């Protein structure tokens, strides 16, 4: 049996080790990592699975914005490769989503395999909802307690930071909120065309 507990500061190194082994050393190049640079995960939702004192799995949540609305980004979630397919990942996701749900209406986004996350209620987002540079077929959302996606085109942003605290994101698109709606719409169209979507922002 594994204990599911909140992540503690001293778990950080063991978590990095599991992430490296589960995803490989290039994991930090994933688009979703841009949304975590310089942003603290939400401690109340970040949990680990422990086998006595050993960390065997991790899940984290981050604040993001959908246009100007607050939302959450789930991930990474990873289980020690030697212990996968035993229900640990599923248990961590259910336990943390219960915490998120208890806090009120919320949109939870993630990038991952729809074949796995459908069981938790996640759906691939419609083409009007965009994470620039990410494969739209892997961007999924779970609407909790009546939260709903906007009817118009919208894109995901890293949660706002004071400019002085913003680390360099060389090579990546600007992902800070505060741009006007026309710029949002333009970026949504560019992202859709890049991935072959014909739907227009706002459709």
| Binding residues vs ligand COA (CB under 6 A) | 22-23, 77-79, 84-90, 112-113, 115-116
> Least distance from C-beta 77 to ligand COA, angstroms?
5
Phi, psi of 92 (to 5 degrees): -65, -40
Instruction: Tell me which long-range contacts 23-31 makes (C-beta under 8 A, separation of at least 24).
Output: 23/76, 23/78, 27/76, 30/111, 31/111, 31/131, 31/132, 31/133, 31/134
Q: Which among 28, 12, 16, 27 is positioned nearest to 167, based on CA atoms?
A: 28
CB of 2 to ligand COA, least distance (A): 10
Q: Where are the alpha helices (DSSP H) in the chain?
A: 12-23, 31-34, 88-102, 114-117, 181-194
Cβ at position 174, least distance to ligand COA in Å: 25
First-to-last alpha carbon distance for the chain, in angstroms, is: 48
> Least distance (Å) from ligand COA to the CB of residue 59?
8
**Least distance CB 96 / ligand COA (angstroms):** 12
- Which lies closer to ligand COA via its Cβ, residue 75 or residue 127? 75
Residue 196 Rama label (left phi>0; alpha psi -120 to 50; beta):
left
Give residue number: closest CB to ligand COA: 89
Between residues 77 and 188, which has the closer beta carbon with respect to ligand COA?
77
Residue 30 vs 99, nearer CB to ligand COA? 30
Question: Closest CB to ligand COA among 93 and 188?
Answer: 93
Closer by beta carbon to ligand COA, 88 or else 100: 88
């Amino acid at each position: 049996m594994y204990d599911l507990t909140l992540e503690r500061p001293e778990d950080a190194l063991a978590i990095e080790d599991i992430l490296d082994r589960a995803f490989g050393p290039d994991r930090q190049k994933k688009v979703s990592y841009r949304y975590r640079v310089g942003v603290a995960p939400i401690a109340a939702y970040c949990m680990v699975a422990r086998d006595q004192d050993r960390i065997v799995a991790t899940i984290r949540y981050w604040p993001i914005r959908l246009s100007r609305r607050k939302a959450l980004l789930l991930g990474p979630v990873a289980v020690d490769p030697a212990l996968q397919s035993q229900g640990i990942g599923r248990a961590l996701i259910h336990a943390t989503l219960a915490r998120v749900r208890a806090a009120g209406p919320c949109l939870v986004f993630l990038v991952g395999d729809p074949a796995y996350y459908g069981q938790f209620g996640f759906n691939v987002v419609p083409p009007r909802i965009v994470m620039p540079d990410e494969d739209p077929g892997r961007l999924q959302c779970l609407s909790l307690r009546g939260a709903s996606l906007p009817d118009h085109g919208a894109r995901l942003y890293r949660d706002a930071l004071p400019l002085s605290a913003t680390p360099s994101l060389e090579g990546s698109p600007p992902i800070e909120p505060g741009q006007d709606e026309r710029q949002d719409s333009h970026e949504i169209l560019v992202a859709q065309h890049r991935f072959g979507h014909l739907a227009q922002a706002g459709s």
